[in-house]
Amino acid sequence: MLNVAATWVGTEALGPGLRSVVWVQECPFNCRGCMAPDWIPARQARAVTPAELVAELLADPGVEGLTFSGGEPMLQAAGLAETVRLARAVRDVSVICFTGYRLENLEAGRTPTPGAPDLLAVVDVLIDGTYVAALDDGRGLRGSSNQRVHHLTPQLSDGGFDFTGRSRGAEIAVSGNEALLIGVPPAGLLPAFDSAVDSLRTHTSPRPRTRPTPASHTEGS
């Protein structure tokens, strides 16, 4: 079973093409400036099997990739690796994974769970390292410039998507009384989003829930 904080089907804010996103619950690093503090604690969120998750993520036939974030995906590596295996039996999806653990440590066997090598084996692009607020340069599909983009396979290496230098973009998705900010926010967007949610909270009942963008999460090495 996977412990999932949130999912979203069909976004262009977290990698090339139309993608589905999984944000897992729990992160061992409590980095300053974390964009998703609610997803740090080791608590039960939504329990789901890899097969159930795949059915959800591939419900849109236009989805061509998966992005894993959180939270810390490597803590649930075995379940996410199985999710990829089952998804690729249906469709040839690419996989992007954020992690706070440095690639060289994972490759050397210094992994948080035994399943980490299995997840690495099916990931096309790994974005590793801690989020450091002082190094947030407002560019690319990573939270700060110390985070590195590793093309573990050639699948997304020559498609024209600039993982490190592109202008940032984000999407705001609203479902019922919940608002979800998807992507790595450009400068000024996160405060504006929080202000809008706070304003809504004063005029609606029950209160809308805000989930800050997790792609610029603050996991550590």
d(CA 174, CA 213): 13
The confidence score (pLDDT) of residue 198 equals 62
Q: Identify the residue whose tokens are 């469709």.
A: 91
CA 104 vs CA 112, 134, 147, 149: distances in Å: 13, 24, 13, 13
Architecture of domain 2-168: Alpha-Beta Barrel (3.20)
CA 168 to chain centre: 15
State the DSSP code for 208. P
127 has which bridge partners? 98, 149
Helix (H) or strand (E) holding 86: helix 77-88
Query: Using CA of residue 109, residue 111, residue 117, residue 123, what is the dihedral sign?
Result: negative
b or e along 188-212 (b: 16 or more beta carbons within 10 Å of the residue's beta carbon)?
Answer: ebbeebeeebeeeeeeeeeebebbb
Tens of each residue's pLDDT in the chain, 221 residues: 999 999 999 999 999 999 999 999 999 988 777 778 899 999 999 999 999 999 999 999 999 999 999 999 999 999 999 999 999 999 999 999 999 999 999 999 999 999 999 999 999 999 999 888 899 888 899 888 999 999 999 999 988 999 999 887 777 777 766 777 788 776 656 665 666 566 555 655 443 333 444 443 333 33
Domain spans in the chain, listed from the N-terminal domain onward: 2-168
- pTM of the prediction? 0.86
Q: How far apart are CA 130 and CA 76, in angstroms?
A: 18
Q: What is the predicted pLDDT for the residue at 193?
A: 66
pLDDT at 166: 87
pLDDT at 151: 97
